[in-house]
Homo-oligomer: A and B are copies of this chain.
Amino acid sequence: MIYITRRERFSAAHRLFNPSLTDEENETIYGPCANPNWHGHNYILWVTIRGEINPDTGYVVDLKLMSRIIRDKVIVKLDHKNINVEVVFMKGQFISTENLAMGIWKELKPSMTDLGIELHSVKLQETENNSVEYFGN
C-alpha cells in the first residue's frame, strides 16, 4: 500500500454568509469574509489516493489520468468561478474551506471508485496560513 498525491490549483471568488441573517450579523460571525461584494483566493488542492503498485507498470495509478479526473470533476467547475453562485455541487452550503474540501471529496469519490482507485484524502489550502484536510468520514 502506497500513497500518491497530486497537487492542483484554482482561483475563485466566494463569501461566507448565512442568508437568514442580516449583513451586520454575518459580519459579526464571519468578519471581512462576509463582504457582500465577494473576495477570492488562490486555492491549492492536494488529492491523495492509495493502492498497491501495479507490477506491470510500476504505477499505482497513471498520474495523468488522476490529474484529468481532478480537472474534469473539480477544477473546471471551480477555477475562475464564484463558488457561491456558479458551483452546482456547493449549492446551498456555506462556502467554508471545510465544506469545500468535503464537496470536492464527494465530486471525486465516484469517478475514483469506478476506476478502482481508493481516495484517501483531500487537502485544501485557502491561504498560506490556513488549510483543511478531509479523509471521507
Contacts and interface: CB of A to CB of B under 8 A. Distances in A.
Contacts of A42: 41-42, 127-128
What's the dominant secondary structure at chain A's contact region? mixed
A95 B33 CA distance: 21
Interface size class of A (residues with CB under 8 A): 35 or more
Number of copies of this chain that the complex holds: 6
Interface in A6-60: 6-9, 11-14, 16, 18, 29-33, 35, 37-42, 53, 56-60
Interface in A76-100: 79-82, 85-86, 93-96, 98-99
A111 interface: no
A41 to B, nearest CB: 5
Given A29-B57, A37-B86, A40-B41, A63 B130 contact: yes
Interface of A: 1-9, 11-14, 16, 18, 29-33, 35, 37-42, 53, 56-60, 63-64, 67, 79-82, 85-86, 93-96, 98-99, 101-102, 127-135, 137
